[in-house]
Amino acid sequence: MVPLTMAKAGETVMIRKISGKDEVRQHLAELGFVVNSDVTVVSGIAGNLIVQVKDSRLALDKTMANRIMV
């Protein structure tokens, strides 16, 4: 398992684990980041990512992206 920040642009990966406090995990789940779901990295600049989850595109900062293990 590696953090989401290690995925390359255009790559689709499956979420294996989400770490952090309960509030953080709940917030990410509400955005669509749930274990065993696919995420596509659209682009990344300096560790900050734009990802596609289901039918939505979201921006994640480096700290949040590091909590999502793929």
Q: Give percent of the chain above pLDDT 70.
A: 100
d(CA 42, CA 25): 22
Whether residue 62 has pLDDT greater than 90: yes
Tell the burial category of 23 from Cβ atoms under 10 Å away from its Cβ (0-12, 13-18, 19+).
exposed
Whether residue 47 has pLDDT greater than 90: no
Structural domains of the chain, with CATH: 4-54+63-69 (2.30.30.90)
What pLDDT score was predicted for residue 43? 95
Listing from the earlier edge strand, what are the strands of the sheet with 56-60? 12-14, 38-45, 48-53, 56-60
User: What's the average model confidence in pLDDT over 1-30?
Assistant: 94
| Residue owning tokens 């294996």 | 16
Question: Could you report the per-residue pLDDT of 19-46, keeping only the tens digit for each?
Answer: 999 999 999 999 999 999 999 999 999 8
In this prediction the pTM is: 0.90
